[in-house]
Amino acid sequence: MTAQRIIPARTWAELFLLALIWGGSFLAIRLALDEVPFVTSVAHRVFWAALILWGYVFLRGLQLPTRRSDWTALFVMGLLNNVIPFSLMAWGQLHIPTGLTSVFNAGTAIFGVVVAALLLADERLTARKAIGSTIGFLGVATAIGLDALRDFDVTSLAQLAVIGGTISYAFASVWARVKMAHLSPQVAAAGMLTGSAVVIVPAAFLMDGVPSFDLSLTAIGAIAYYVIFATAGAYLLYYRILAAAGSANTMIVTLLIPPVSIVLGAWVLDENLSPNVYAGLGLLALGLIILDGRLLRR
């Protein structure tokens, strides 16, 4: 058994900062959706963030991929990690609260464990992982609620769309491990966002028409936030934390994001989540703690 890394104080601060940034992204996306169609909102997110990251890559003089297979892998990663989840979650946020969206998003690690066990030979589903995943799935079902499961409507569909986005994230994590481990993280992020833009920008023109920039300051600020901070900046910060703390420690951020999003949604949008959502979040947290395993070993 490998020793668990100790997180330095500075990395803890960066971990909380990342949770604040990503927790705020759910509010920013919802504010932008009041004036921007959801496909166009995703196009803004990936296109401008890709430009920012390519600027960073060229300023740092990082090595670019030279093989066609690498660019193909980046294109597929863009679909799995950006186009599909960003689109499903943005549409879902039109019909469900931002706080609930963030709770479902916390299930990404749960789905990631199951998908990895199914597709990767060295990621066997141990008893601990099976128990943690099962409790996590119960948390997702609890957050959805019996009413949504019994009386299927657009709200139920929106919840399933967001969950579909988290499942896409899970497949993206496996794809990245198999196909992109040899690439610089910053170059991989820039290439992935470029692949996303190749797909979603034409889709936005076809579905929504020419994007309008006659927007309120609130919408412009929201778009700027989730482009600059929650996408381009967050990717750079995420990979910095990953290098310093390891993947197991970095998973902690999934537990820190929902409280931030729930508080912001209640404060700015007057969202009021039902008790089952908080119960589901608690079960998700328990499942993630079991998956992590450190408290059990102690």
Mean pLDDT (whole number) for 191-202: 97
Query: Is 2 inside any structural domain?
Result: no
Range of the domain at 20: 9-297
The model's pLDDT over 81-122, given as tens digits with 9 standing for 90+, comes to: 999 999 999 999 999 999 999 999 988 888 888 888 889 887
Q: Which residue do the tokens 């946020």 mark?
A: 93
Query: Is 235 inside any structural domain?
Result: yes
pLDDT (0 to 100) of residue 3: 47
Query: Is 156 inside any structural domain?
Result: yes
pLDDT at 252 over 90: no
Query: Is 1 inside any structural domain?
Result: no
The model's pLDDT over 229-251, given as tens digits with 9 standing for 90+, comes to: 999 999 999 888 887 777 666 77
- Angle, helices 234-250/185-208, rounded to nearest 10 degrees: 120
| pLDDT band (50, 70, 90) for residue 166 | very high
Cα separations in angstroms, 75 against 4, 110, 175, 198, 296? 33, 25, 11, 9, 39
The model's pLDDT over 277-292, given as tens digits with 9 standing for 90+, comes to: 999 999 998 988 888 7
The model's pLDDT over 113-129, given as tens digits with 9 standing for 90+, comes to: 888 888 988 778 888 88
| pLDDT band (50, 70, 90) for residue 256 | confident
Query: Is 298 exposed, middle or buried (CB count within 10 Å of its CB: 0-12, 13-18, 19+)?
Result: exposed
| Distance, CA of 150 to chain centre | 28
Query: Is 3 inside any structural domain?
Result: no
| pLDDT band (50, 70, 90) for residue 64 | very high
As a residue count, the chain comes to 298
pLDDT (0 to 100) of residue 149: 61
Q: If you write DSSP's letter for every residue of the chain in order, what string do you get?
A: -PPPPPPPHHHHHHHHHHHHHHHHHHHHHHHHHTTS-HHHHHHHHHHHHHHHHHHHHHHHTPPPP-SHHHHHHHHHHHIIIIIHHHHHHHHHHTTS-HHHHHHHHTTHHHHHHHHHHHH-TT----HHHHHHHHHHHHHHHHHH-HHHHHS--HHHHHHHHHHHHHHHHHHHHHHHHHHSTTS-HHHHHHHHHHHHHHHHHHHHHHHH-SPP----HHHHHHHHIIIIIIIIIHHHHHHHHHHHHHHHHHTTHHHHHHHHHHHHHHHHH-----HHHHHHHHHHHHHHHHHH-HHHH-
pLDDT at 62 over 90: yes
Question: In the chain, how many domains are there?
Answer: 1
Query: Is 4 inside any structural domain?
Result: no
The overall average pLDDT reported for the chain is 90
pLDDT (0 to 100) of residue 234: 94
